Amino acid sequence: MYRLLIVDNERLIVDNLVDLFQKSETLALEVFGVYTAAAALELMARMKIDIVLSDIRMPGMNGLELQQEINLQWPLCKVIFLSGYDDFEYIQQAMRNSGVDYLLKTEGERKIEETVAKAVRQLDDAVEKEQLIAQARERMSVTKPLLHKEFLWAVLLGEPQPLRHLAEQFAGLDIPLDANAPVLLAVGRVDDWKDGFTLSDRELLVYAIRNIAEEYWHGGAKSVSVAFDKNKIVWMIQPNEPVPDGKQGEQIRARTVRFAQGMAESIQQTSDQLLKLSLSLAVASDFRPWPQAAEQFENLKLLLNFGAGLGRGALILGQQRRGEPLPAGGHDHAVRSGLKALESLAAFLENGQRHQFFIDYAQLMAIGGGEGTELLRMEIDINLAAIFLSYINRWGLHAELAERHDLTRLLHFNDRGAWTETTAYYTALAEELFEIKRAGQTFQENDIVKHVQWYVDQNLAGDLSLTRIGEVVGHNPYYLSRLYKQITNEGLSEFIARSRMRKAKELLGQQGLRISDIAKSVGFSTDQSFYRLFKKAAGVTPQEYREHAAKVEK
């Protein structure tokens, strides 16, 4: 819905045009009328206006000066000049200032409606789907590196959604990798930073390392890299040439592994010589299907964080060796993947996403209840306690929850019973928190509706525009309109019209009031619009309704 502002120092013209566009069945407009340019500027300082229909000659500030102010505040606003004079000089100046059109007041209502409709079409054209898509593509080219990183990082974390649409995403983001072919990973780490390096210095140097590696690997493989943890890089590598099935394909992939591993030393040396940076690298020894890339990624990170991988300039080729086993009892890939659910639980709880929360929660608790060690269960327990305590403290829910839940269990980890009891405890606590959040949302939404209805009832003769009501209750007018309809199953404009009719009928029953005064008291600017809308709603004119009501009383 667009907003139309009518500006003219002649009140009758403004009132008639407001009535004309309010009753229009072809144009969905929120209509405002003011009698001075100053009032127009004041209104436009409070809300966005889409179309201005303005007299070109007004006392104080004329229409052309008003248009210049409009262009500063709302440059996309369409301006239509309306004048009683056939003034060529004004017309020329209006056109130079990019006025939408110029109309004479003598041209009639139909011509005015057509011109406003033309402005509406121009506004529609400005946001055509094709144009928006073109703009999005242009902006996407600028942000593509960030999109690459976000998507590939999700793949490396093993998230299921990106893996289901890998080929489409690679094509859409212009990622030069084959979604249907296995991938070889390598992970690098800048061992330390010299004093004095700023954050931008470090980002630039990491980018330089990525370029060095891709230059070396370019001759025998294609690669894409992602930086992470401020000093680490992961490369995804595939052969340059198409890889057939069978033995020949195996030979090509084996050659690519040797090539990637062989060039790793050169990458380290060049980083040291040109950038004066010590770089450690771990390069995998086999290709993996994309769904297994996350497991290989975790293994390579572990290699760089344990044993020989902790040294400066470490170069590790393949998986962990017999002489350098992973720490005893270390989590396997399935457990590590499951523990990542902890990262999302806090966000799901905060956002009221109950369904997603319990999906990840069930996965997490199943890990602890399977062959998990006591230390693993304690890790899960402590993290869950921190999530729940943080939420309870932030929202001040301690007193409310303490009536039904033993919150001291969040602090005493040695007093836990069986894992099934721990699972049941957190399940019940989460259910309670989601219910409190849902009830609070419902209460707040119902409170908003009551506030809106109270304001409408108290201001039937005043400003009942969506914008004004939105200001009163502190919400965006279009969001408010949707929320009101969602809760009450009645549009806000329908409620306003019904409230005005209800009050009008009540006042018509009082014989001492003039109908014109009643019309103004319920928000109608002209008697004509009141008569027309009353008859449409009640089936009779206001006078006929009054006469009928008088007969009923007798």
**β pairing state of 232-239 and 221-228:** antiparallel
What residues in the chain have per-residue pLDDT under 70? 84-100, 126-143, 307-309, 319-338, 370-372, 413-417, 554
CA distance 337 to 326: 17
Domain presence at residue 534 = yes
Residues 340 and 397 in one domain: yes
- Predicted pLDDT at 242: 85
Domain presence at residue 136 = no
CA distance 236 to 439: 47
User: 499: closest CA among 535, 459, 469?
Assistant: 459
Domain boundary among 328, 357, 388: 328
Q: Report the phi/psi class of residue 396: left, alpha or beta, with left for phi > 0 and alpha for psi in -120 to 50.
A: left
**Which residue type sits at 203?**
E
Residues 114 and 9 in one domain: yes
Domain presence at residue 36 = yes
CA distance 328 to 153: 28
Residues 431 and 530 in one domain: no
Domain boundary among 414, 441, 468: 441
Domain boundary among 411, 441, 471: 441
Query: How many folded domains does the chain comprise?
Result: 4
The domain that holds 291 is classified in CATH as: 3.30.70.1230
Residues 366 and 463 in one domain: no
Q: Report the phi/psi class of residue 174: left, alpha or beta, with left for phi > 0 and alpha for psi in -120 to 50.
A: left
Domain presence at residue 451 = no
Contact between 1 and 46 under an 8 Å Cβ cutoff? The reply is no
User: 315: closest CA among 245, 370, 261?
Assistant: 261
Residues 306 and 436 in one domain: no
**Which residue type sits at 346?**
A
Residues 112 and 9 in one domain: yes
Domain presence at residue 446 = no
Residues 160 and 288 in one domain: yes
The H or E element containing residue 224 is strand 221-228
- Predicted pLDDT at 87: 59
- Predicted pLDDT at 371: 65
Q: At what angle do helices 88-96 and 63-73 cross, to 10 degrees?
A: 10
CA distance 230 to 194: 14
CA distance 222 to 177: 8
- Predicted pLDDT at 171: 92
Residues 48 and 113 in one domain: yes
Range of the domain at 476: 459-553
The domain that holds 519 is classified in CATH as: 1.10.10.60
